[in-house]
Amino acid sequence: MNFFEMSKSVADKFLQNIVFVDERAYIESDDNQQQSFNAKAVSDAFASKQKLCTVFAPSSQEDVERCLPMLLKADVVVLDWNLDFQNVEVDGQADVDDEADADQDDSRGQHTINLISQIVENAGQDKMRVIIVYTGETDLKKITGEIHASLNDKAFKFDTCKLSSTNVCILVRAKKHGEDVQYPHLPELQEMVCGYSELPDLVLEEFTRMVYGLLPDYALNAMTVIRESTSKILGVFSREMDAAYLGHQVAIPEKEDGPRLLAEIFGGSIKELLLDSQLIEENWVDEWIDEHVPVEGRHVAIKNAVLLNREKAHRLFNSKKTSLKDKLSEVFGETVKHEKDAPIMATALFVDNAENINKRFAELTQMRNTFGPVDSPKKMNQGTIVESSGNYYVCIQPRCDTGRIKVKQDGQRAECQFLFLPLQESGNGPAVIVDDKVLRVDNTSHHIMITAFSPNEDAHEIVFRKEGERILVLDKKETVFEWKGELKELQSQRINTAYTTELSRVGLDESEWLRLNGK
């Protein structure tokens, strides 16, 4: 089993819900007819693959609009191209009104285009979506072109019967009619014909192509484990403890701290669940190497040009050496003078833009991910990174002092002093990735910045506001600070600990002979 097939098995466990929309789904007709659709055959095909398949047959514009929320929840959406409500069922048979059909030629596909546009808009830049237009129409290329034109989005790449962006894939496929060869004079379109039994494999194949990789496979496996462990999680979060939680809410000074505690408990439970699960197969990396590193190898421009081939990549990954320097030396005979060069070299063996990839991975390990709405308010917390007049700072205010700030004091609008440490290209503190730059925290006490802010009257916190593409807040002196991100909690705690350790240094006079002998 190669790496792609292993990724398919991961995606297969994750994929559950496929929704079809075809107005002819429950109309008796001959499967050899151009527009026919056999709902039972489709359901049987997906049932054989242990998938939940919903077939929705709209009979009006209102039905189409009503099905949209369902489509936004589906893993994969399959749509008929021409949702034709003029041809209705009469005595169990499809009654085709040729005149009405001719009148609708100019509006063919409009309902489907509207649904696709709304699904794509909902997907934005971060939701994965697979959409298949499954049609009895013959001009597949024209349909693909019309969908592309309606999206008016340069992010979509145009291919034969396929449109794709970083997170959305739209396919156009023809319904199979009997055993005759369709498109006999267009061989490139013959492979675009898909029978009911072939649909599950098509769905799985295209979904896997969108997401497969070591990290996506881990994420899909993790989400599958969480979904399959729903009952266990609910057993831990039992309603028998409702009274204890309410008692906690009553006892604490601020009710807003209650949900935060639940988030911490729940997040900890999920972490424990994942650590106890086998999410990465032992040979995943070896299979990844076999797929991505050529047998004959390629020359890698690091300190000295070295040849990386598949055999050396396997040796490097499976080396028993503990030091990266020793691993590189063992496999390539490459001497690494500086310890910090070793990780750069290790990544450069597998990808050309090693520095950019290392920065992105560092951000993943260091910065809080924002999964909420893009326009959700940002607040000043311990670990918040801001920029002002080209200078970068990290907030080291104790977390308990960033909220519950008094709005009024002695009848005047209150203000609260916040502490910041500078982020510079050189410094003695931990490294931080900001705006694609590697900066270090300046821990020296005489560089600390203290500035005052007034809290938001509703939130009792310092809340940033969105202005265009920027997220800003003003201090009491009207100095503008732009929000750049927020460190994970342990990352910000490390910075605070390093700073307080620097403050607690003890300076004293003692015998120089004794001091030197103590080194």
Residues 262 and 324 in one domain: no
- 0.95 surpassed by pTM: no
Confidence of residue 209 (pLDDT cuts 50, 70, 90): very high
Strands (DSSP E) contained in 362-448 are: 384-388, 391-395, 408-409, 412-413, 416-424, 431-434, 437-441
Q: How much is the pLDDT for 102?
A: 44
Residues 38 and 161 in one domain: yes
Residues 27 and 155 in one domain: yes
Q: pLDDT digits over 434-478, tens only?
A: 999 999 999 888 889 999 998 877 767 899 998 888 999 999 899
Residues 188 and 118 in one domain: yes
Q: pLDDT digits over 220-230, tens only?
A: 999 999 999 99
Mean of per-residue pLDDT scores for the chain: 85
Residues 38 and 176 in one domain: yes
Q: pLDDT digits over 340-392, tens only?
A: 666 677 788 888 888 888 899 999 999 998 776 667 889 999 999 999 999 99
Lowest mean pLDDT among 87-101, 152-166, 469-483: 87-101
Residues 62 and 119 in one domain: yes
Residues 395 and 444 in one domain: yes
Q: How much is the pLDDT for 86?
A: 66
Residues 72 and 159 in one domain: yes
Residues 167 and 55 in one domain: yes
Report how far residue 159's alpha carbon sits from residue 144's, in angstroms, rounded to the nearest whole number: 9
Lowest mean pLDDT among 199-213, 400-414, 438-452: 400-414
Number of structural domains found in the chain:
4
Classify residue 287: in a domain, yes or no: no
Residues 32 and 149 in one domain: yes
Classify residue 375: in a domain, yes or no: no
Residues 231 and 299 in one domain: no
Residues 226 and 249 in one domain: yes
Report how far residue 75's alpha carbon sits from residue 73's, in angstroms, rounded to the nearest whole number: 7
Report how far residue 452's alpha carbon sits from residue 460's, in angstroms, rounded to the nearest whole number: 14
In this predicted structure, the answer to whether residue 104 has a pLDDT above a threshold of 60 is no
In this predicted structure, the answer to whether residue 97 has a pLDDT above a threshold of 80 is no
Q: What domain range includes position 336?
A: 293-352
Q: Residue 452's beta-bridge partner residues? A: 417
Task: Write the DSSP assignment of 336-381 as a string of letters.
Answer: -SSTTHHHHHHHHTT-S-HHHHHHHHHHHHHBPP--S-TTSPPB--
Domain end (from 211, 226, 254): 211
Task: Write the DSSP assignment of 165-200 as a string of letters.
Answer: -SSEEEEEEEEP-SSSPSSTT-HHHHTTEE-GGGHH
Classify residue 186: in a domain, yes or no: yes
